[in-house]
Amino acid sequence: MRFTDLTGQRFGRLMVLARAPNIKTRVVFHCECDCGNKTIVDGYSLRSGLSKSCRCLAKERASDRNKRHSACAGYGKTPEYVVWSNMIQRCRDPNSTSYERYGARGITVCNRWNIFENFLVDMGEKPGSEFSIEREINSGNYEPDNCIWADRSRQARNKRSNRIVQFRGKSMCLADAVDMVGLPYHTVKARISKYGWSDEDALNTPIRGRAA
């Protein structure tokens, strides 16, 4: 599998020390934070700027943000509180339109995140308006070790509706597989779904002209 070696590069407070064993299909690296803590971060989060510290930066920002929250008339004015509130509702309120896809499936919010301030310390501020909370293991719960802020493109890869293919001896989502081989997503999907190609043939056969 091709990957970009980030060893020796700096991303915010993180210095990349060496590559770590893959987590499923994700390429991850051993990193050391300026505060002295060591952590493992995936390459996507480093390159995209989602991870800039071991979480110490998020805690510092959260502390400042909590002070601003205290001065507000209500938490509901902040985007992080809206995310937290919606997360609680879809996991615990049977009247929520999203409950069937979350709470009814057994997805829960960890006890620590019953308190908004803890959620804010662990997650930090949203990096931007296009980001929302994502569970890295789609069937897992809302808890610090399973949640990140993710943009729309990354969230699309983690949907339950994503097609899973068998490629090079591994199970992975089709979006990751086409990135590896450099073929258009819809071309490969049509080969498999419409024309009945095997996963390997659909991903290993180059495009000739405009034909799939």
Does position 126 have pLDDT exceeding 80, yes or no?
Answer: yes
Per-residue pLDDT averaged across 139-157, rounded?
Answer: 80
Does position 183 have pLDDT exceeding 70, yes or no?
Answer: yes
pLDDT at residue 32, rounded to an integer: 93
Return the DSSP state at 131: -
Of all residues in the chain, the percent with pLDDT exceeding 90 is 28
| DSSP labels, 138-190 | TTS-BSGGGEEEE-HHHHHHT-TTSPEEEETTEEEEHHHHHHHHT--HHHHHH
Q: Are 202 and 174 in contact (CB under 8 A)?
A: no
For residue 171 the two structure tokens come to 């199970």
